[in-house]
């Protein structure tokens, strides 16, 4: 069985960790990553491309035409 604790305060974590250890529980800490790493790379590359002049300008009408 898995037990997930969220929003644990840093000051409370050592207490929970020692309690779990004394009861023989296994502790794993997983940090959530809010964004997919590949997605972040694409966005950062796009920003870099725009700064280096490798972008194009489009009007709102041109963008809407692409969506049809």
Asked if residue 16 lies in contact with residue 8, where contact means CB atoms within 8 angstroms, the answer is yes
The pTM of this model reads 0.41
Q: Per-domain residue ranges for the chain?
A: 13-66
The predicted pLDDT at position 60 comes to 94
Look at the alpha carbons of 20, 22, 26, 30 in this order and tell me if their dihedral is positive or negative. positive
Which tens digits make up the pLDDT trace of 15-44? 988 998 999 988 887 777 788 889 999 999
């Amino acid at each position: 069985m898995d037990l997930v604790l969220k929003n644990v305060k840093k000051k409370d974590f050592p207490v929970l960790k020692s309690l779990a250890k004394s009861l023989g529980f296994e502790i794993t800490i997983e940090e959530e990553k809010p964004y997919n790493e590949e997605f972040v790379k694409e966005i950062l590359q796009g920003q870099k491309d725009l700064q280096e002049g490798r972008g194009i300008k489009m009007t709102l009408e041109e963008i809407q035409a692409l969506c049809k």
